[in-house]
Structure 1
Amino acid sequence: MIKLRLYLRLLRLLAVIALGTLMAAVISLIERMVKHDLMSTRQRLTRWFMARLSAALPFSIKVSGERPETPMMWVSNHISWTDIPLLGMLAPLSFLSKAEVRSWPVAGWLAQKAGTLFIRRGAGDSTVLNQQLSRHLQQSRNLLMFPEGTTTDGQAVRTFHGRLLSSAIDTSVALQPVAIRYLRNGERDEIAPFIGDDDMLSHLLRLFHSDVAQVEIQLLKPIESSNLNRNALARQAQAAISAALFGASVEPVVDNSELEAA
């Protein structure tokens, strides 16, 4: 029965991915025909796709807090690749992702077609990238990034990089902090985190072989970007998410090298 459940889950996932691939191909064809960027349409379809993808994952999802009525820069702690569909189903979003994702089979192509903005680690092009992010925000489009710069096991919130938050300040766009955590039988889930030497296939099989886990997503109070520098904005967002996950008395993990990079 366990193997049957695994196979059924995988079949459902493949069906959803096939549907998403077909949708992306159709939109790409239409864009070439009309010679016009249909980003708003892509964002709405991506949200619809993310909702179907989330439903195909072995999670029971609870969302709390108010969804923003105006476009914002969303910032969240980062635990797994599953954060992306789980958060992407909440609003029409574009994502900021590491450049390596672009080369992933199928997933990279879908991410690109969904309007994902890719960044190279340590490429030294933060000014150019911030200009690109600013243009995106000026067009009243939501953008989501993971300022930790990596996934974690969910035990703490790592230092938020502030350098890519300049675009929110430059465009006077508020931050929407989001806290996400995975629980299994009331305790921190050790299966959901995608960290270290994990590869996608092994993690996917391990996840789909397990029982349903609980995911809690908290949409926190927005943070105005005006009158704050990028590091202060990063610290405030990090503190809000850490407090939501672990309580105000818990100090977030600080990596000095990351702080200097921010």
Structure 2
Amino acid sequence: MIKLRLYFRLLRLLAVIGLGALLAGVISVAERIVKHDLMSTRQRLTRWFMARLSAALPFRVRVSGRLPETPMMWVSNHISWTDIPLLGMLAPLSFLSKAEVRSWPVAGWLAQKAGTLFIRRGAGDSTVLNQQLSRHLQQSRNLLMFPEGTTTDGQAVRTFHGRLLSSAIDSSVALQPVAIRYLRNGKRDEIAPFIGDDDMLSHLLRLFRSDRAEVEIQLLTPIASHDLNRNALARQAQTAITAALFGSNLAPATSDSELEAA
């Protein structure tokens, strides 16, 4: 029975990835025909694709909070690659990712076609990248980044790095803090985190063999970027997310939705 469930889930995932590859190919051809960037269309199609990808993952998802009505820079704690589809289904988003993802088979190509912006850690190109991010935000496009710079096991929130938050300040765009948590039988999920020397195939098999886990996503109160420097902005976002995940007073929910995956 477990093997049948595993095969079904993997086949469903492959079907969704195939659909994503088809969409990516279509948008690439369309951009060549019209000879200009179709980022807004990419973001809408990416959100539609992420919703299908999230539905193929073995999670029950509960979202609390209010979706922002204006474009913002989204910042979130980071636990697994699954954070990306789970957050990407909530709004039209572009993503900021480490450069290594670009080389991942299939996933890297799909990420690039979705409009992901890649950063080389320690490459000293933050000024150029901040300018690129500022242009993106100034065009009224949402952007999601993980300021911890790496994934964690979910036991704590690491220090948020502020150097790439300058683009939010320069663009007068607010931050949308997001807290994401994975639970299994009411406790911290030890299967969902994608950390250390883990590889994608092993993680997929381990995840898809398991029963469904719970995912809680909290959309917290936006943080205005004016009158703050990048480090103060990073500290405020980190404090808000840490309090939502581990503090006694959680942010109140203004809306709820629940999604179930097979």
Q: If the length of structure 1 is used for normalisation, what is the TM-score? A: 0.94
Q: 1:123 maps to what in 2?
A: 123
* Matched residue type, 1:98: K
Q: Which has the higher contact order (CA 8 A, sep 6+)?
A: 2
Whether 1:6 aligns to 2:9 is no
Aligned positions, number: 249
Q: 1:198 maps to what in 2?
A: 198
Give 1:248 deviation, angstroms: 5.9
Alignment of 1:73-112 (within 5 A): 73-112=73-112
Q: 1:166 maps to what in 2?
A: 166
* Matched residue type, 1:14: L
Q: 2:259 maps to what in 1?
A: none
Q: 2:113 maps to what in 1?
A: 113
Q: 2:256 maps to what in 1?
A: none
Give 1:34 deviation, angstroms: 1.1
Q: 1:146 maps to what in 2?
A: 146
Question: 5+ unaligned residues in a row in structure 2: which ranges?
Answer: 250-262
Alignment of 1:213-252 (within 5 A): 213-247=213-247
Q: Is the 8 A contact 1:179 1:244 kept in 2?
A: yes
* Matched residue type, 1:202: S
2:183 match: secondary structure: strand
Alignment of 1:53-72 (within 5 A): 53-72=53-72
Q: 2:51 maps to what in 1?
A: 51
Please give the alpha-carbon distance, in whole angstroms, between the structure 1 residues aligned to 2:56 and 2:151.
Answer: 22
* Matched residue type, 2:59: F
Give 1:51 deviation, angstroms: 0.2
Aligned-residue Cα RMSD (Å) equals 0.7
Give 1:127 deviation, angstroms: 0.5
- 1:15-36 CA-partner distances (Å, limit 9, x unpaired): 0000000010011001101111
Q: If the length of structure 2 is used for normalisation, what is the TM-score? A: 0.94
Q: Percent identity?
A: 90
Q: Is the 8 A contact 1:159 1:238 kept in 2?
A: yes
Q: Is the 8 A contact 1:242 1:248 kept in 2?
A: no
